[in-house]
Amino acid sequence: MPRLIVDSRESRSGLAQLLASRGAEVVSEELECGDYILSAGLAVERKTATDFIASILDRRVFTQLAVLKQTYQRAFIVVEGNLFGTRSLIAEEALLGAMSYISVLESVPILTTADTAQTASLLLTMQRHALEGLGYEIALRGSKPKDRLVQAQFAVEGLPGVGPSAAKKLLAQFGTAQAVFAATPEQLRAVPGIGPKTITAIREVLEFDARA
């Protein structure tokens, strides 16, 4: 199990012990910023919902953001608890504005969890994804239809710049998906609505050598 570094001041939260109980190799260090380092260059600042709102009101979170971004390649804020269920003087518009600013303009995603147990699951999942990836390939397209005609259209729609209407025109012109794929640029130009840019893109994809 890879090391998961926890700021020594965060070790009192109980989350470090929970992570260790789930098999993580937890190492406590005094970090300059951030609460958890999941992998090289990836850090998490963890806050309870109450503390997150307080850090917005006293502007502490914006100073922390600047240091996080300077120190790590990627930074996340994990907020534990119901942000909109706390007793706070902050207006909802101000809270949403701060969250939007942090996520969109500062490019630091804000992730929310219900409790410490869920935070532990999230951190372990984030670490696994950072180190190992997803673990399987994601299909680029959705479930495939069973009807043969629809399957043929589905296959042709996989070509760049080809939507449902263009796919139907191509199949009407050439008869089969195989014939569409084998068509020369001159033959493709005979199909209404298939322009030069689309033809070039289609041929580039069909002629691309994945072994290169």
- Per residue in 130-165, pLDDT (tens digit) is 988 877 655 546 666 677 888 888 889 889 889 888
Domains of the chain: 3-132 (3.40.50.10130), 148-206 (1.10.150.20)
Predicted confidence band of residue 91 (pLDDT cuts 50, 70, 90):
very high
Paired tokens of 192: 């209404």
Q: What pLDDT sits at residue 143?
A: 62
Residues pairing with 79 in the sheet? 47, 112
Task: State mean pLDDT over 68-90.
Answer: 93
Q: Per residue in 93-116, pLDDT tens?
A: 999 999 999 999 999 999 999 999
Q: What pLDDT sits at residue 199?
A: 92
Predicted confidence band of residue 60 (pLDDT cuts 50, 70, 90):
very high
Cβ(177)–Cβ(152) under 8 Å?
yes
Q: What pLDDT sits at residue 193?
A: 87
**95 Cβ neighbours under 8 A, 6+ residues apart:** 53, 56, 83, 84
Chain Cα centroid distance, residue 61: 23
Q: Is the pLDDT of residue 198 over 60?
A: yes
Q: Helices (DSSP H) in the chain: which residue ranges?
A: 15-21, 49-57, 60-71, 92-100, 116-132, 148-156, 164-174, 177-182, 185-188, 196-206
Among the listed residues 69, 9, 62, the one whose alpha carbon sits nearest the alpha carbon of residue 41:
69
Among the listed residues 22, 111, 25, 21, the one whose alpha carbon sits nearest the alpha carbon of residue 6:
25
Q: What pLDDT sits at residue 69?
A: 93
